[in-house]
Amino acid sequence: MRLRLPGLLFLLMLTGLWVSFPTTVLAKERCRVSVDTILASRQGSGVDARLKKDVSELQNMFNYTSYQLLSSKTLNLKKGESGTVSLPGNRRLKITPHNIHENRADIALQMMKKKRTVFQSQIQLLNRGSLFVGGPKYENGNLIFKISGSY
């Protein structure tokens, strides 16, 4: 069997497209979402050293004197796949990326306590961006969630 040069070049180009195509498509099919749980309080003062890069934004958005990082969790989710983060006070935050397009991801948030939904929202998150969401009362303050994403 003799393969002519144009046919061989076409086959090599097609193979090259096949190898590069899935990585281009899959890059937008997954979303890495991080959730930092912060306890904000008016009792005492001080900022957890792990929150130094966020302190000015926290203080501009929320009226508290103390910020303590309670936990951090990162989920690597496919589009349409849900992941759950455990929160203080027997709560869970369910996160589902729905659409990932250009430099934004549409993400559904659903907070549950026991089996009851207590909060749900849809957000748009910029690639490598983050936002703060004020949460429920907890101990001597309130919870704040920093939600960050990259894809």
Q: Give me the pLDDT at residue 4, please.
A: 53
For the stretch 106-131, what's the b/e string if a residue is b when 16 or more beta carbons lie within 10 angstroms of its beta carbon? bbebbbbeeeeeeeeeeeebeeeeee
Task: At 113, list the tokens.
Answer: 């306590």
Distance CA(22)–CA(104), nearest Å, equals: 20
Of 120, 100, 136, the residue nearest 27 (C-alpha): 100
Per-residue pLDDT at 6: 52
> What confidence tens digit (pLDDT) does each residue in 107-150 have?
999 999 988 999 999 999 999 999 999 999 999 999 999 999 99
pLDDT in tens, 50-76: 999 999 999 999 999 999 999 999 999
pLDDT digits (tens, 9 = 90+) for 8-31: 444 444 444 444 444 444 446 889
